[in-house]
Amino acid sequence: MYDAADDVYCYPNSTVLKNIPGLRSARALKRYELAMSAQRAEEPLPAGRLSMSHYRAIHFHLFQDVYGWAGQFRRVRIARGASMFCYPENIEREMTALFVRLADRRYLRDRSPDACAAGLANALGTLNAIHPFRDGNGRAQLTFAALLAHRAGHPLQLTQLRPRKFLSAMIESFHGNETPLAANLRNLMSD
């Protein structure tokens, strides 16, 4: 669970996020969110050019049945433990910079699998540090990473993902070490 200051996204006197079905139990919301986002993940993703608006559309697609703010950048400060994510007033600027870099790098096309994995780790680590949405960042990040890798010619085999190892690598990338994340991503690419 995230720590958030003055969280307008939660029901009063609660840590449960306001949600479309009106669920007031964290456990019930988690089950519902997982079921609905998994169902939406099986559907075709929104078309787009791997831009910031496309990324927002992916988040909306995955969470449209759960949150009224799906696809909208958060307006509160959040942290996980001692790790503070990008302040909301900086999200737009940081996301713009990331997507300009991706465009400048031709969305990782025409790279070797190793170079693609390194570029993908950088993009994924940056998205994680920004954490633009109030919730659902991890699923949106992974969905976008899979789409980016696919379009770069190095599809990810997400069925091979080892969640604990991947999460550990994501945490390392947050602290500046992208090498384990790049290795994890490279292992998910078919040769």
**Interval 88-114: pLDDT, tens:** 999 999 999 999 999 999 999 999 999
Tokens of 125: 């680590």
* pLDDT tens-place string over residues 161-184: 999 999 999 999 999 999 999 999
Architecture of domain 3-188: Orthogonal Bundle (1.10)
Instruction: Count CB-CB contacts under 10 A for residue 160.
Output: 11
Please report, for the chain, the start and end positions of each structural domain, with discontinuous segments joined by +: 3-188
